[in-house]
Structures are given as C-alpha cells and as structure tokens.
Chain A
Amino acid sequence: MNSIFGLLPSILMMVAPILIAAIGGMIAERSGVTNIGLEGLMGFGAFGAATFHALLEPTLPGSVWFALVAAMLIGALFSLIHAYAAISLKADQTVSGTGINLLAIGITVFLCQIIFKQERTEPYKLGMMPGPGGVYPTAYIAIVVLLASWYVLYKRPVGLRLRACGEHPAAAASAGIDVKKYRYLAVLASGALAGLAGGCLVLTQTIQYTNMTINGAGFIALAAVSFGRWTPKGVGGASLLFGTAVALAIYMVNIPSMRSLPPEFFSVMPYVITLVTLVIFSGKDYAPKAVGIPYEKGGS
C-alpha cells in the first residue's frame, strides 16, 4: 500500500506535461481553433529544452529553467505556422495540425544530426531535480497553469471575449472584437504551453530527446481536452486520469504479481484507457460551437 503512495510523485511527473499541453489545447479550441499539432509542438519544445540544457549545462547554473523558457518560445514560434495557416489563410485545421506533427519529427531529428551528429540530442548529466517529497517542480508549474487559465478565462475580460470567439465569432465581431487577434493569441498560448509541456516531459522523465520521446502524449492531451469538456476543471481531472494510466503502465512492471503479464500490456494501457473513455464519454455537444471553422468577416 505504501507503494501506491510512493507512486504519487511519479504520477504527478507524468500528469504535469499532459495537463500543461491539454490546457494549451483547451485555450486554442475555446477560441475556435483546433490544434491537432500539440504532439508536434511538444516535440519541438522537448527538443529545444533538451538541446538548450545539454549545451548550457556545464556553463550556466539553472540552465534547466532557461531551457524551459526556450521550450516555450520554440513552441510558440512553430505554432505560428499553424495559426497563420488556420486563421489568416483559413486552411483545413486538421490537416495543418497534422503537418506540424510530421514536420516536428523531421525538423527535430534533422537538427540533432546537424548539431549533435546523431539522431538524438546529447544526454545531459542532470535533468530537473525533484523537490521536497520527490515531487518535481513541473507539478507546481502545472497547477499554476491550470489555475491561471481558469482565472483568465472566466474572470478577465480577455477570457470572456476569447470564449465568445469560439462560441459565436459573428457575435464577437459585431461587438467590436477582433476575432483573428484573439485566436492568434490563443494558438500562440497553446504553442507556448505545449512547448513548455514537452520541455517538462524531457527534463523530468529522460536524459535526452529522441523521436520516441513524446510518443503520443500530445494526442492523449487532446483526448483530455474533449474528455474534460473544455473546462479547466474537467481538463485537469482528465489529465490526472490519463497521466495516472501512463505512470501505472511504467511502474506496474515492478509489482511482483504483475510480472507474468507481458510488458506490452502495460505499455498499451494508457492508450486503451484513453480510447475507452473517448468512446463512453464522447461529448461532442460540449465543444465550443465554432471550433474548427475559419471565421469570415461579413458573414452573418
């Protein structure tokens, strides 16, 4: 029984990146833009953080934190592609998001080859250090992100307007709101958060970035957005659920009674759980009404 509680820090370690990325996805979708590219943006962030930290670790104390900032900036930068395509050029958002995902693997490993002459980043000596109780700071970052998103979305004028852009952009426009501007902000925020999530993931869970680092976490975050019904509370809960599944998958192998099961059983569990919850709780009705539809000025 104490092994379950002992698992708590590990669970939080797994939950944090999913939660952060999911909040980012929620913000984008609340403004009316689907962001399938979360997986790729996390990849960009993870790569950026791993590279930054690996290169600067010897010389810069606290380079972990700079690496996280770098991850955010890189995520925001690449989300600009999706934002421009989806908002200004009115592209098919699912396709452009998928393009980001394809690009991510390509560009990150490409740059690894150029910078590190191998298909992965140089391992760094020490990733992020856990704090008291073995809980990584990323857990606190995730909580802050969650609370901040709730506050901004529901208490500040910018949140009221942003949500209107996702529900009824024509209404927002007729109230004088620049729908494009708010959507851009939302997508950039989601890019920064996804990048941050990728950075958190790589710095806490492993020692380098490879093309298997993200491995579906971005899509699990997407599932958390819809399972969480696009609210901070729901998304938080959903991320907790999925992150726990991921953590359990890794750590269950250590439980003697579970040894007889094949390793693939544990690896596949988070994906199965995500799929099953998607099916049982498919709540399309809760999505922001105008999500995925590009906004045309002058439309009624």
Chain B
Amino acid sequence: MNVTKGTSAPQKREGTPGAGNYAIEMLGITKVFPGVVANDQVTLRVRENEIHAILGENGAGKSTLMSILFGLYDPDGGTIKVKGQEVRIKDPNEATALGIGMVHQHFKLVRNYSVTENIILGMEPRRRDGTVDLAGAEKRVAELSERYGLAVDPRAKIESITVGMQQRVEILKILYRSADILIFDEPTAVLTPQEIDELMDILQRLKAEGKTIILITHKLKEIKEAAERCTVLRRGRYIGTVQVADTSEEEMAEMMVGRAVRFKIDKEPARVGDVVLSIESLTVYNAKGYPAVKNLSLDVRAGEVVGLAGVDGNGQSELVQAITGLMPVHAGRILLDGKDITKTSIRERVNAGIGHVPEDRQRHGLVLDFRVDENIVLKTYERQPFSSKRGILSFPAIAKKGKELIEEFDIRAGQGPATKAKNMSGGNQQKVIIAREIDLSPRLLVVAQPTRGLDVGAIEYIHKRIIGERDKGRAVLLVSFELDEIMNLCDRIAAISKGEIVGIVEGDKAEERSIGAMMAGVRSPRKEREIEPNEEAQGGSK
C-alpha cells in the first residue's frame, strides 16, 4: 500500500499501454455514510487508453465512487489499483501524483482569476526571487492548449469566457498536472449541442494522445457516441459492464433503472384556448447591466405547454424572473389575461394567478427551516382562513391544508405537516412546491428546471402533473435545459439564444438537431421552419 508522492514531472509508469492492462481497478469498493450505503461492493475496471462510461441515475453512487478515486473520501472496504499497483489515495494531491485528474461538473474555477492563474493555482512556476512567473505560465498554457487542441485565451478572466471554454480550462488544469487518467463528471450538462460535439472531438483527441478517460453520465446518447464500454450502477450496487456498441439505449436504461423505462409520455392533443400570457418586446437587464432578454415576444395560451429550450445563461432565468416580478423590466410589456402586469409587485402577480416553480428550489422555492404546512401557505398565509382579519395566524387551518396536500400529492413527510422541509428529499421538496403552486389554481404556471437532480420516479410524477395542469386549461411555460423533457412535454417549443427567440416549432414536429441549432443561435430560413401561420402575428421571431 504505497503511494508515489507528487512530483511535477510525469514519470513513465510500469505496464505497457494496450488492451490487456487496466489503468484503474476499483475492486469491491464499499462506502457507508450514516444511514445509507453509497457504494456496496462496487467493482470498476477501466482499461488503459479506453473511454469508459459510468452510468447511473442521480445518486446511484457514481459520484461517490469517483470521489473515492480522486481522494475526497476514504473507502470503507475494497481495494484500488492504479496501473496494477495497489494504492491508498488520501487526498486529491495523491490522486494527482498518480496521474488521476477530475473535470468537475460544477467547475472549480476562481471567477475573477485569469485562465492561466486558475490552471497554475497550487503548482505555480516561480522566478528566482520567488514571485509567480506569470509570463512563463502563460506560455506553457498556450503550448498545452495547442497540443491538445483545447482553444483558450490564457489571459482572459473566467467570468468573461464561455462555458465551453471554461470546461476546456478545467481540462487543461489536469493536463498541466500531467494527468493520464481523466475523469469527466457529467460534462455535457452545461453545454450547447455544438459544444457537446466539440467535447466529443476533444475526447477522441485525448484518447489519441494516450489518455484514459472515465465518463460519468446519465445521458445515454452521449455514451453511445463516445464510450467503448460502460459500467452501470444502481442504488450503490454494481449491475454490470457492457460493450456500448452491442447494447441499445433501452437496454442500458433498463439496467440503470431496474425496469423498463417509458421515454415518452402519453398525452392527448392540446385543447388550446385564449392567450393567457403575452410578452411583448421585452428587454430585461441582468445583474451586471447587460441585456439578458432582448426584445423578446412570446405568447402562451390556456391549455398548452410552451417550452423554452436553451442552454443555461441565454436569458431564461431573467425572463422567468421578469414574468414573476423578481426582476424589473427595462422595456416592453407583460400581459396576463390582457392586463398589463409589467410593473406590478410579486404579491399582486401571485394573486392575479401566476404560479411559479423556481429553478433553484432550495433558494427560491422553500424556506427549509419552515415546516411543510408553513411552506405550503407561504404565498397564501395572508388570506383567510390561514390568518384572521387582524393578522393572527390560525395554525389548525394551516395544518389542515398541509395534510390535505400531503395526501393529494403523495408527499413523503415523516412527521406529517409538521415535518421541516430541510429533512425531506429533493423529490418531495419539489412536490411541496408543485402542490402549493397547483393548489393556487393559477392561470399561468411557470415551471423552471422542475426535474433537475431527481430520480426517474419523481420525474415521471412531475411530468404527469404538468400535463394534468395543461389539461385543466392552465397555460404552462416550461423552461428546461433537458431537450428530452421539452420535446416530451411541450405542445410548442421556443428556442432561446442570447436573449432572443430564434424559432418556434410545433411539439410533435420538433427535431432535436434543428432545435439544437436554434439554441445555438442559428436562424433557419423561413420556409424550413414549421410554424402555424397565425403565430406569426403574435411574436414568433423573424
């Protein structure tokens, strides 16, 4: 059990690269947290110079497994071998010394440092007087970038570069430390379809340079595209390893979830009514003073689900905040049932019938320290029967409402309405929010990233509810980064890029490639887009 301590120069390690040798072996790994077994006798064998995917639902244990490999946790049982040698990895420094590097899902980049400063942090080249040799570092970064085809601007500050470039900086960080084994944690979650294509190319290039790649993901499509073999985990257990080329997406999904998964939802055709939400030439400035929403127009009618498809950071958040009243509008109007609500307060909009399931459920949706019933009346506590006319709360009424909704929405709350929200799972927390919003009987339901981080069961339930609301005649605006979700649920899909609507397509005629192109800002010529003729009057884009 020895560990090669860190040096900055890469060393030639034993074992010849080739189909026979394993770069990483994690054998019988067990990791227990109080009350839960995150990894239960998991085995992973990654060959040298292969691209190996680890597939599992959120929380299947893949991130725990990789955190162990990267030295963030100690396993409770099992052994780890790197290039045939048994090792114990106590911290990320030791992992780095062994040539293991991790590209995190949530980039660990200091936003006001430059690309170079982020790359050299912790391993700074020095001049003779001990100061940081920034110029020399910039040169080295340019060299690495050239060699691996990872285009970056060494001097740019992180806060001003694209997400794709940020990811390349993350990759360069570990290449700078001479990593041979690269772990990618959900790398495509934040990328546009074009950037995803670029990433696939980068992976192939890295493989050509002799690197071994482990890809953690729950996206079957990408596994099919990039990986050679795939290990599937479910609820902390090792299910199996398959040859990707010989296995279908359905088969992999079934291994991942444990039962046949229905990808598509059954829904009746929409019965569309009048316009409920009308956005007219809206311009919204973001916190930094730049226009995040530019002259945007969109309509949502009763009885339909309109999806806003786009990559994070293209103005969706600002648009949602403008609609719900959280952000001021710079120009343009918002009309609800024909009434101008552009300047009304948040409470007035709630009372006018706007329901909102926010994208950050813990920050905007719930007061975690409040009980379930208090969270349920968070928007209605002022009304009777929850408050008397003089402003005194009626706890029995609040608890009763809590119980009612817990039953109706099958919310798992250990102590009933008195359960503190922070003690509930993410899926149940989301159910509380959805229950509350639906119970308001809103005219317009704005739903943002509703299934982020949830397991398949919760996702299916929430999708069912959204369609349910649409069938009740509500207008639903769905904002999501998951194209599958949008295509599954929406009657009409609007692609947003850089604050503008690039195109609107009918749900059942939507094609992923063309929407992806629109999300990246490519406007297709008029005749190829599929739009209902009467939509042009209401604010499809040019």
Residues on A close to B: CB < 8 A?
A: 155-157, 160-161, 163-164, 167-168, 170-177, 289, 297-298, 300
B132 on interface, CB distance cutoff 8 Å: yes
- Which A residue sits closest to B288, measured CB to CB? A285
B255 interfacial contact with A, CB 8 Å = no
Contact segment of B98-106, B436-444, B468-476, B517-525: B98-106
In the bound complex, residues from chain B placing their C-beta under 8 Å from that of A161 are 121-122
Chain B: CB-nearest residue to A155: B131
Known contacts A160-B124, A298-B67; A168/B108 CB under 8 A: yes
Q: In this complex, which of A157, A170, A175 has the most chain B Cβ atoms within 10 angstroms of its Cβ?
A: A175
Partner pick for B108 among A156, A171, A297, CB 8 A cutoff: A171
B122 contacts A175, CB within 8 Å?
Answer: yes
Chain B interface mostly helix, strand, loop or mixed? Answer: loop
Give the CA-CA distance A241 to B433 in the complex, in Å.
50
Interface flag for B112 (CB, 8 Å): yes
Which chain B positions have C-beta within 8 A of A174? 92, 102, 104, 108
Task: Tell me if B105 and A300 are in contact (CB < 8 A).
Answer: yes
- Can you report 24 A-B residue pairs in the complex whose CB atoms are below 8 A from each other? A155-B132, A157-B126, A157-B130, A160-B124, A160-B132, A161-B122, A163-B110, A164-B113, A167-B111, A168-B109, A168-B111, A170-B108, A171-B109, A171-B118, A171-B121, A172-B121, A174-B92, A174-B102, A175-B121, A175-B173, A176-B93, A297-B72, A298-B73, A300-B105
Interface pair A171/B110, CB less than 8 Å apart: yes
* Smallest Cβ-Cβ distance to A164: which chain B residue: B110
B117 in the interface (beta carbon within 8 A): yes
What is the distance, in angstroms, from B59's C-beta to the closest C-beta of chain A? 14
Chain B residues in 8 Å Cβ range of A163: 110
Which residues of the other chain, B, contact A160 by a CB distance below 8 angstroms?
Answer: 117, 121, 124, 132
A167 touches B112 (CB 8 A): yes
CB distance from B273 to the nearest CB of A (A): 44
Closest partner residue, chain B, to A171 (CB atom)? B108
Complex Cα distance A171/B93, Å? 13
Question: Once bound together, how far apart are the Cα atoms of A167 and B118, in whole Å?
Answer: 12
- Which of chain B's residues have a CB closer than 8 A to the CB of A156? 130-132
**Residues in chain A near residue B173, CB distance under 8 A:** 175
Flag whether B19 is at the interface (Cβ < 8 A): no
Given contacts A175-B121, A175-B173, 16 further A-B contacts (CB under 8 A): A155-B132, A156-B132, A157-B130, A160-B121, A161-B121, A161-B122, A167-B110, A168-B110, A171-B107, A171-B110, A174-B102, A176-B91, A176-B96, A177-B122, A297-B72, A300-B106
Number of interface residues, chain B, beta carbon within 8 A: 29
Contact present for A157 and B124 (CB under 8 Å)? yes
B123 is an interface residue with CB less than 8 A from chain A: yes
Knowing A174-B102, A175-B122, A298-B72 are in contact, say whether A289-B132 is a contact too (CB < 8 A): no
- Give complex CA distance A170, B434 in Å: 32
Closest to A166 in B: B110
Q: In the complex, what distance in Å separates the CA atom of A61 from the CA atom of B132?
A: 41
Q: Which of A170, A171, A300 has the most CB of B within 10 A?
A: A171
User: In the bound complex, what is the Cα–Cα distance between A160 and B110 (angstroms)?
Assistant: 11
Q: Which residues of A contact B96 (CB under 8 A)?
A: 176
How far, in whole Å, are A243 and B161 apart by their CA atoms in the complex?
41
Instruction: Report the separation of the CA atoms of residues A248 and B314 in the bound assembly, to the nearest whole angstrom.
Output: 52
Give B93 Cβ to nearest chain A Cβ, in Å. Answer: 4
- B residues in contact with A168, CB < 8 Å: 108-111
Given A168-B109, A298-B72, do A175 and B123 touch, yes or no (CB 8 Å)?
yes
Closest-by-CB residue of A relative to B125 is A157
Residues of B near A289 (CB, < 8 A) are: 111
Determine how close the nearest CB of chain A comes to the CB of B527; give it in whole angstroms.
Answer: 47
CB pair A157–B102 under 8 Å, yes or no, is: no
Inter-chain contacts of A170 with B (CB < 8 A)? 108
Q: Tell me the minimal C-beta distance from B360 to chain A in angstroms.
A: 15
C-alpha gap A167/B106 in the complex (Å): 15
Minimum CB–CB distance for A152 against chain B, Å = 10
What's the least CB distance linking A70 to chain B, in Å? 30
A174 to B121, CA, bound (A): 10
CB distance from B135 to the nearest CB of A (A): 13
Q: How far is the CA of A161 from the CA of B118 in the complex (A)?
A: 10
Known A171-B110, A289-B111: A300·B104 in contact at CB below 8 Å: yes
Residues of A near B112 (CB, < 8 A) are 167
Which of chain A's residues has its CB closest to B109's CB? A171
B105 to chain A minimum Cβ distance, whole angstroms, is: 7
Within 8 A of A (CB), among B431-473: none
B94's nearest neighbour on chain A, judged by CB, is A176
- Collect the chain B residues with CB atoms within 8 Å of residue A157's CB: 124, 126, 130, 132
- Is there an interface contact between A164 and B121, defined as CB atoms closer than 8 Å? yes
Most buried by B among A157, A163, A167, A297: A157
Question: How far is A188 from B173 in the complex, measured between Cα atoms in Å?
Answer: 31
Complex: how many Å from CA A250 to CA B140? 57
Which chain B residues lie closer than 8 Å to A300 at the CB level? 104-106
What separation, in Å, do the CA atoms of A297 and B96 have in the docked complex? 17
- Nearest residue, chain A, Cβ from B95: A176
Alpha-carbon gap, A92 to B162, bound state (A): 36
Q: Taking the nearest CB of chain B, how far is it from the CB of A231, in angstroms? A: 12
Give CA–CA (A297, B72) in the complex, Å.
8
CA distance A160 to B133 in the complex (A): 12
In whole angstroms, what is the CA distance A175 to B126 when docked? 17
Interface string of B121-155 (1 = CB under 8 A from A): 11110100011100000000000000000000000
Q: Which residues of B contact A175 (CB under 8 A)?
A: 108, 121-123, 173
Q: Which 7 A-B pairs have the closest CB atoms?
A: A175-B122, A171-B108, A157-B124, A176-B93, A155-B131, A175-B121, A174-B108
By a CB distance below 8 angstroms, the chain A residues around B111 are: 167-168, 289
1/0 per residue, CB under 8 A from A, across B75-94: the answer is 00000000000000001110
The CA of A174 and the CA of B105, in the complex, are separated in Å by 13
CB distance from A277 to the nearest CB of B (A): 23
Q: Are the C-beta atoms of B92 and A176 separated by less than 8 Å?
A: yes
Q: Which residues of B contact A172 (CB under 8 A)?
A: 110, 121-122
Known: A175-B123, A176-B122. Contact between A167 and B72, CB under 8 A? no
Name which residue of chain A comes closest to B173, CB basis: A175
- Chain A residues in 8 Å Cβ range of B117: 160
